[in-house]
Amino acid sequence: MKKYSLIAAGMFLALAMPGFASANEEHGPALKHAEIDLTDQEQIRRGLTVFTDVCMGCHSAKYVTYKGLMDYPEIGITREQVDELRGSNPLTAGLITELTPEDAKVSYGKVPPDLSLIVNGRRGGASYVYSLMTGFEHDDSGKVPDGNFNEYFPGKRIAMPDPFSWLGHDEADTKQLEQDAADVAAFLAFISDPHQNERQAIGKWVVGFLILLTLVLWRLKVEVWKDVKH
Amino acid sequence: MLDTIMQTKLFAWVDRRTGAADIIKSQLTEYPVPKNLNYMWNFGSLALLVLVLQIVTGIFLAMYYKPSAALTYGGYTVAFDSVERIMRDVNFGWLIRYMHAVGASAFFVVVYMHIGRGLYYGSYKEPRELLWIIGVVILLIMQGSAFFGYLLPWGQMSFWGATVITELFGALPIIGEYLQQLLRGGFAVGDPTLNRFFSLHYLFPLLLAAIVGGHVHALHVVHSNNPEGIDVHSDDQKINFHPYYTIKDAFGVGVFLTIYCYVVFFNPQMAGYFIEVDNYVPANNLQTPAHIAPVWYLTPWYTILRSFESKLLGVIAMGGSLAILFVLPFLDRSKVRSGRYRPMFRLMVVMFFVDVIVLGYCGHSAPSETLKLVGQIATAYYFAFFLLLPFLPMVEKTKPEPEGI
Amino acid sequence: MTDQADQSRRNFLYIAAGGLGAVAAGAAAVPFIGSMFPAADTLAAAKTEFDVATVEEGQLVVIQWQGKPVFVSNRTPELLAQLDGHDDMLKDPNSEAIEEVSAEWMTAENRKYRSIKPEYFIAVASCTHLGCIPLYKPSAGRKEWGTAVPEDWPGGWHCPCHGSLYDLSARVINGSPAPHNLHLMPYKYTSDTKVVIG
């Protein structure tokens, strides 16, 4: 038996191994860790504000509806706050930017991606978003103009102009900007999979129950197999 | 409890019309199984369980999934939107979808363990050759089904995975181009491809269910092998399937479900192994992701494909690596079944397991010179393992097998 | 199966495993059956917002609510006057057969109008017979409509499928195959002219 468990363990290790390897394959510096807590309603709400004030100038999150902002307990803002945000949009509309794809193409050369799934859809997830927001630097080689150089972006040249004005910001503002970046990363991480907290809450019961059931089945197996003489 | 049911009048009524009692006796309560099977023999029943799970979750997902590549706002498509609707709006849709996605990987984990057990203990040998061959058919249909299913969310990996694999068929001489168009229903992967893949993704599991029936039937004719690999004749070395193995299988199911649910509820993406990161990006036929690789369970064959400079050779080798499984029962000439009594085979087969893992690793990683060489060596060993088997009995000194179990 | 204690332990384990297994199977059915009920976005679309000011005087529009057609008619004082004097022709002049939408606004005097604001009438546009959408025939008498309507036609709706007739408050007229008045649904005014239906 031991041998097989070793083989099984080996297989799982081998499965896990490439994960570390491919993380190292990525070019560019290691990501900065985003301090996020998806059970922290305050942080997600702050992130929502950053999203609607800054990101939504160009980006959408079409899978999140205004109604969802009230209904998800992790956000849970009031009807009045939602009404203020949505203006004349229906409650069931997604968070969609007023910048049309055509105008975006003219201004930035490409259409900004929808952010509903950005945390699931990028290696590094929330930390990638956080690093990107706080990663605008001056390109010493002078090839990329200021505001488009970001060493966390693949190729280091990003079409999105420094949304938080991170480059050349006042030293005194660093903490606030980092907080904003972490908050919006938390919001985006939440909307990438809005049932994740519920899932884990249910999961504790499910797995706990299955462990109990498995223990009972194990004892039953041992008991019934007493009949079998070796 | 089964006895109580079988004594009822209702059961008697059914029995007179179906012969149910005989079936239950011959297949369960009086079906003889060697008493020394170890826990590696649990994976067959687990595979059946996962098949049922996949079919059930799939049927419920199909109630909301829409196979259409029509574009919607933000570069998404109707298909992608319908998956996100399942994840966000459908009651427990997130659970059913994660069960299905994790279930696909769990299916392969379980089936690969099942195949590995068969290899190690020589379960493919006389008289179980056909049982093994049916099993290989099941494996191929599973891989096809998984490949069709992976296109459905219409993410970047869906699209480019399907593009790469259908491109392979184009490498075949003469028929290649036609075969490729036949699969795609167009000149590139597109809406017709998505529709036919959905249709086939629904059909294949039903085929699987039927063929699994044949697999189980064949098993019940030739009976289970056992870790010693010897024929078991005396009755005191066999026990009835029910209750002994039903309960042992139930315990295995408990262990499996606990691990499975842990993954479903706490780590369904498995760091990009079960649902790849790039598949959260909607399909874009004008931009290939920086690094594309199939899902983990197909990567060993992907490495074999990549190990050859010539596209045609690669395709032939990949096809051959699966086809060779069909003839395994006839390549292995040794009369001894179990690896326990075949020291050289045992070493070779354990190396083969490691080899497949190495192939999987290479196929998953971004291509590099070193990995390419490693992949080529691993590919060479993959084939060497099978091709050396006929000659093994000439040099191998097997250990004496025991009289009984 | 050596002694009594073993046997009872075994029975206990059988029952415990069977019981827990049954609970597991029951719990597993919950998400699957649950998934077949309307999804959150379907429920969110269960309310329809509408601005009644967009309906011109004397006109009728048909809007959608929960995938069903809904009549919104703007009744002029003349049309409202046509509601009087034919109670004896109606199966249920006071809409008492079915518990109506909300006792709050269904006061004694507006049972005749069957609406919050007399001028704006809102009802489900499905004939209570077999669900066809009735035709709007607001003027009284046969002048415009011919023999499709009775001579003493008070104005209202005529169902083309099986000839059911309703007056301008969609109260069913005697002799129609339809059993009930057109159904009303819950709605409320969020501003002077904006209604939320549902």
Task: Please say if the pLDDT value at position A2 is more than 60.
Answer: no
B297, B110 contact by CB (below 8 A):
no
Report pLDDT for C108: 78
Distance from CA of A227 to the nearest CA of C (A): 7
Q: Extract the tokens encoding B92.
A: 């427990």
pLDDT of residue C148: 85
Instruction: Give, rounded to a whole angstrom, the gap between the first and last alpha carbons of chain C.
Output: 66
Write down the pTM of the prediction. 0.89
What is the number of structural domains in chain B? 2
SS3 B112: helix
pLDDT for the residue numbered A6: 52
Residue B301 belongs to some domain of the structure: yes
Please, which pLDDT band fits residue A4 given cuts at 50, 70 and 90? low
Average confidence (pLDDT) over B165-179? 89
pLDDT at position C198 is: 81
CA angle C146, C147, C148 (to 5 degrees): 95
Angle, helices B176-184/B191-222, rounded to nearest 10 degrees: 100
Mean pLDDT, chain C, whole residue set:
89
**Can you give the residue ranges of every domain in chain C?**
4-37, 44-197
| A65 with C41: Cβ contact below 8 A | yes
Give residue-wise pLDDT tens across range A158-179. Answer: 999 999 999 988 999 999 999 9
Q: What share of chain C is helix, strand, coil (3-state, %, to 5)?
A: 25, 20, 50
> Can you point out the beta strands (E) in B174-317?
238-240
Chain A window 191-230: which residues touch B at a Cβ cutoff of 8 Å? 192-195, 199-200, 202-204, 206-207, 210-211, 213-214, 217-218, 220-221, 224-225, 227-228, 230
Structure tokens at B191: 């809406």
pLDDT band at residue A18 under the 50/70/90 scheme: very low
Q: What percent of chain A has pLDDT over 70?
A: 88
Q: Which domain holds residue B100?
A: 37-233+241-288
Q: Examine the domain organization and report whether B250 and B336 are in the same domain.
A: no
Q: Please indicate whether residue C180 is annotated as part of the active site.
A: no
* Residue B91 backbone zone (phi > 0: left; psi -120 to 50: alpha; other: beta): beta
Question: In this model, does residue A12 exceed pLDDT 80?
Answer: no
Q: Does residue A63 belong to the interface with chain B, where contact is any CB pair within 8 Å? A: yes
Residue B25 lies in a domain: no
For B12-51, the pLDDT digits (tens) are 999 999 999 999 999 999 999 999 999 999 999 999 999 9
User: Is residue B8 situated within a structural domain?
Assistant: no
Mean pLDDT of A115-137: 95
Instruction: Tell me if B197 is assigned to some domain.
Output: yes
Rounded Cα distance, C62 and B148, in Å: 44
- Confidence band for A7, pLDDT divided at 50, 70 and 90: low
Same domain, B118 and B222: yes
Please check whether residues B306 and B375 belong to one and the same domain: yes
Band (A22; pLDDT cuts 50, 70, 90) = very low
- Residues contacting residue A188 through CB under 8 Å, at least 6 positions apart: A47, A51, A61, A115, A118, A119, A126, A129
Minimum-distance CB partner of C39 among B1, B60, B85 = B85
| pLDDT at residue number A88 | 87
CATH superfamily of C44-197: Rieske [2Fe-2S] iron-sulphur domain (2.102.10.10)
What would the mean pLDDT of B53-71 be, rounded to a whole number? 97
Clarify whether residues B348 and B274 are in a common domain: no
The 10s digit of each residue's pLDDT in A23-46 is 444 457 899 999 999 999 999 999
C-alpha span between A32 and C39 (Å, rounded): 38
- Report pLDDT for B133: 98
Mutate to test the interface with B, among C35, C36, C41, C43 (most CBs of B within 10 A): C35
Q: How far apart are CA B59 and CA B110, in angstroms?
A: 22
pLDDT digits (tens, 9 = 90+) for C148-165: 888 889 999 999 999 999
Query: Could you give the percent of chain B with pLDDT greater than 70?
Result: 100
Percentage with pLDDT > 90 across chain A: 76
Average pLDDT, chain A: 88
As a whole number of angstroms, the distance between CA B201 and CA B68 comes to 15
Model pLDDT, residue A13: 46
pLDDT attached to residue C109: 78
Contact B75 A192 (CB under 8 A): no
Q: Domain for residue B270, yes or no?
A: yes
Average model confidence (pLDDT) for chain B? 95
A19-194 belongs to CATH 3.30.70.260: no
d(CA C51, CA A49): 31
Two structure tokens written together for C86: 């034919």
The DSSP secondary structure of A49-115, one letter per residue, reads HHHHHTGGGT--EEEEEHHHHHHSTTT---HHHHHHHHTTS-TT-EE--SS-HHHHHHHHSSPPPP-
What is the predicted pLDDT for the residue at C93?
86
pLDDT at B60 over 60: yes
Query: Do B247 and B352 share a domain, yes or no?
Result: no
Angle B299-306/B343-364 helices, nearest 10 degrees? 80
Q: What is the pLDDT of residues C102-134, one digit of tens each?
A: 667 788 778 888 998 989 999 999 999 998 999
Contact B262 A17 (CB under 8 A): no
For chain B, give the percent of residues with pLDDT over 90: 92
pLDDT single digits (tens) C26-74: 999 999 999 999 999 888 888 888 999 999 998 999 998 888 899 999 9
Q: Quote the pLDDT of residue C43.
A: 87
Chain A residues in contact with C10 by the CB 8 A cut-off are: 220, 223-224
More confident residue, B5 or C101: B5
- Please say if the pLDDT value at position A229 is more than 90: no
Whether A212 and C20 lie within 8 Å, measured CB to CB: yes
B82: pLDDT confidence band, cut at 50, 70 and 90? very high
Scanning the structure block, which residue is given the tokens 């040794």? Answer: B334
Interatomic CA distance for residues C178 and C170, integer angstroms: 11
